Structure 1
Amino acid sequence: MPILLPGIRTAIAIVAALLALSPPASAQQSFPAPIRPAAVPARPAGAPSLRAASCHNGASFEKFLSELKQRAIAEGVSQQAIAEASPYLTYNQGIVNRDRGQRVFGQLFTEFAGRMAANYRMQNGQAHIRTYAAAFARAEKEYGVPPAVIAAFWGLESDFGANMGNLQVLPSLVSLAYDCRRSERFQNETIAALKIIDRGDLSPSEMIGSWAGELGQTQFLPTHYFTYAVDYDGDGRRNLLRSGPDVIGSTANYIANGLKWRRGEPWLEEIRLPQNFPYAQADLTIQLPRSKWITLGVTYPDGRALPSDNLPASVLLPMGRMGPAFLAYPNFAAYTEWNNSLIYSTTAAYLATRIAGAPPMRRPAGPVAQLPFNEIKELQQLLVRAGFDVGKVDGVLGQQSRTAVKAMQIKYGLPADSWPTAELLARMRGIPRAQPAAAALPPMR
């Protein structure tokens, strides 16, 4: 789930780190055939390459696995649980290749949300809330998380259990643990999976999920499963693959206690901005009370006034000033923690508002121009040359890139809505290499 690329997330790779989505359609098949290193033809099929062991002081997979099992025992996992899991703790180079070979494709928020927050998913969410009314009511009372918020994640991550993945999770976890890219993280995930087995929630053979190791109908990584899963149906197990009540209670527990949901507060509302709006203030890092946004001309889409109170909120423009506009409240941080892709998190929050009864968002008056992947990557390179830290130069418009874009828009006197344009790219192509980064305007108070 939230740490890396879960559920529906990898299925639809999108702008700004949709690296975190769950397995693509190809992942809903059997494991890819293990790949042998070409330089070592005698190596048995499925054996890890020598390069993969570099972060383990050259240790073989067998030695690494033995040490990982000892660490699990030291953390309280029983010998019996390890024995049950051992036939599944095998290396698969194909999983590592898939993890290293993920691609990202540009996609507009309205396109992604139009498909993923479509009417049928909204209606399914509402139907599930009716079907599991008692569990949703209990979860809201105990954790303060509204049913629509839980249902939206449930729908996006697995279409309410229809698409959880069909791969054995343990081989994926231990293969990614041996690989050096995120070894420590996946060692922890492997041990957490063993603890789930030891606790009696799932057997090793029941651990079927995504290639990246997520489990259940809201695609929990094992660490989250072990920490936040609750037994809501009273059968003595925490089964997030088969039990609707367990899914509801566990997801609410994670949102409330893992993502720090604020009881009784909104998360996202669509708004309308005036033509003279100061776009430099549209940023998730800038929070102003709703009373201040009123003085800047912000209203609801139909012209109704916002409540004149001190509830803090940020103006969110996922497609710049030409696209839809939202007020993102402190609870929106739970969505960006679940998945740090702005497109995914905004879509999940928007779907929750729709399930809760909000009308569809207004569509842009005309097409919103989007730079192609190669030009976003070029823009990132120019931003780095200008002195900005945009993280990885990968053609993905993440938060660091958006912040840098806004600073350069301010420098050139362009509307500072953080949306990269052909005009900005043309201006930046003339920047000398040593030019220092421009500073963004301070937030209004």
Structure 2
Amino acid sequence: MILTRRTALLTLGAFGLAACSTGGGSGAPANSTGGALPADLRPTPNAAYDAWVRSFRGRAGAQGLSDSTLAAGFRGTGYLPGVVKRDRNQVEFSRTLEDYLSIAASDERVSKGRAAYSRHRDTLAAVEQRYGVAPEIVTAIWGLESFFGERRGSVPVVSATSTLAFDGRRGAFFEKQLVAALKILQSGDVAASDLKGSWAGAMGHTQFIPTSYQAFAVDFTGDGRRDIWSDDPSDSLASTAAYLSRNGWTRGLKWGTEGPGPGRSLTPQPGGPTFSVTSNFNVIKRYNNSDSYAIGVGHLADRIAGGGPIRASFPPDKYGLVKDQRISLQERLTARGFDTGGADGVIGPKSRTAISAYQTSIGVEATGDPSLALLQSLGG
């Protein structure tokens, strides 16, 4: 298995796109920039955790951490029960490529991506000149990881990583992340109050874990800090390009293309489109070891650069419905008062809840499963 920036944390299906899909897919993000955190992501008294922190602080000096750094880093932090719950309740999503791309390259994400690309055109061009990574690729990763900076996470990283280190399921890994986070504070790159990220400790516009930040983050603006948390995404965008560059990105080479082309052929969903991919496709997978993720980045990048949707069709889903029929089902349910949270053709939790409610209302078993018969009952 390739150890990527996020392999040891969680799958993108459970984090990145789940945080950024429309209501029809997977719902709202667990936490975004700003706003009040859920109660279970706020510090909760836990004597065993407090004892673990005292033990950690006793051995932290050997890691080169000063007493002042530890005092600042742990000030106001604590045990977060919601972090443990989310870590233990992760599931592997079996989302089809069609569903994945419906979210990854949704009309909203493409529109926001083109606007973000235009807004930061000069920075992205300078990043490309230095690191050789195409601006649309960097922008696409930004879009998948944090919805172009809108969903960077607001959980204190020291609380998150120390909670997971204490919990023990992956204690050694998360203790390394905690040490790295505290070293980031010690280096002066960010104030303790601003060291925030996802519930699992991924940080900034493009969701670096602390050890990846240490290895790859750059000070592109020249202000003396590698600031991936700022509203200005410059350091994050450059750090992402630096990550790809140091993992073997070839300047001027496309990630791949739909249909025949140079490189190896790839059909990730039986009956669906075929892609020809290059070595840069594998470099994207170093960011997240998933074919769907790499295709999502590549396709969103192409769309941001002005390209069109996937040309080939996808086969019907396991319920016998094609995407247009699933969209029609969502639209008709919402019109009847059974809100699916959006009409993207992805039958996620909100859509299944709406289907169940509608099935109950017409006196049939509430399975939450879509079907042609269900669509027809709605006048489709």
* C-alpha separation in 2, matches of 1:197 and 1:46: 24
The number of residues matched between the two structures is 305
Cα 1:261–1:34 change in 2 (3 A) is closer
Q: Which residue of 2 aligns with 1:249?
A: 238
Q: Distance in 2 between matches of 1:199 and 1:101?
A: 34
CA distance 1:34–1:157, change in 2 (3 Å)? closer
Is 2:264 aligned against 1:314? yes
Is it true that 1:213 corresponds to 2:220 in the alignment? Answer: no
Q: Deviations over 1:129-155 (max 9, x none)?
A: 332223212211221111011000101
Query: In structure 2, how many angstroms separate the alpha carbons of the residues matched to 1:202 and 1:8?
Result: 29
The match for 2:105 is 117
| Secondary structure of residue in 1 paired with 2:94 | coil
Matching of residue 326 in structure 1 with residue 275 in structure 2: yes
- What are the within-5 Å matches in structure 2 for residues 357-436 of structure 1? 357-364=306-313, 366-369=315-318
Change in CA separation of 1:148 and 1:160 when aligned onto 2, cut-off 3 Å: same
CA–CA distance in structure 1, aligned partners of residues 191 and 251 of structure 2: 35
Report the CA distance between 1:185 and its aligned residue: 0.9
- Give me the whole-angstrom Cα distance separating, in 1, the residues matched to 2:206 and 2:13: 10
1:10 touches 1:24 (CA, 8 Å); kept in 2?
no
Q: State the match for 1:339 in structure 2.
A: 288
Matches within 5 A, 1:55-70: 60-70=48-58
For 1:90, the equivalent position in structure 2 comes to 78
Go from structure 1 to structure 2 and tell me whether the alpha carbon gap of 1:165 and 1:7 turns closer, same or farther (over 3 Å shift).
farther
1:156-195 correspondence runs (5 A) = 156-195=144-183
**Residue 249 to residue 211, structure 1, CA distance change in 2 (3 Å):** same
Structure 2: give runs of 5+ residues left out of the alignment.
20-25, 321-380
Q: List per-residue Cα deviations over 1:165-211 (Å, max 9, x = no partner).
A: 22222111101111222111111110111011111111121122211
Which residue identity does 2:265 align to in structure 1? V
Q: Which of 6, 15, 34 is equivalent to 1:10?
A: 15
Mapped to 2, the partners of 1:23 and 1:175 lie a distance apart of 25
Number of the residue aligned with 2:228: 240
Unmatched 5+ residue regions in structure 1? 15-21, 36-43, 49-59, 272-298, 300-305, 372-445
Q: Relative to structure 1, is the Cα distance of residues 196 and 150 closer, same or farther in structure 2, using a 3 angstrom cutoff?
A: same
Q: Which residue of 2 aligns with 1:30?
A: 37
Task: Name the amino acid aligned to 1:5.
Answer: L
After TM superposition, give the deviation of residue 158 of structure 1 in Å: 1.0
Give me the identity figure in percent: 34
Structure 1 residue 84: Cα displacement: 0.4
**Matches of 1:67 and 1:267, distance apart in 2:** 47
| Contact 2:41–2:155 (Cα < 8 Å) also in 1 | no
Mapped to 1, the partners of 2:145 and 2:227 lie a distance apart of 16
For residues 222-233 of structure 1, the aligned pairs below 5 Å read: 222-233=210-221
Contact 2:12-2:293 within 8 A present in 1 as well: no
Note closer, same or farther for the CA distance 1:88–1:158 as it changes in structure 2 (3 Å cut). same
1:236 CA drift (Å): 1.9
Q: 1:32 Cα shift?
A: 4.2
Alignment of 1:67-146 (within 5 A): 67-146=55-134
TM-score normalized by structure 1?
0.62
Structure possessing the higher radius of gyration over alpha carbons: 1
Per the TM alignment, residue 88 of structure 1 is displaced from its structure 2 partner at its CA by: 4.2
In structure 1, C-alpha distance between the alignment counterparts of 2:44 and 2:132, rounded to whole Å: 50
Cα deviations across residues 47-72 of structure 1 (Å, max 9, x unaligned)? Answer: 27xxxxxxxxxxx5344323433444
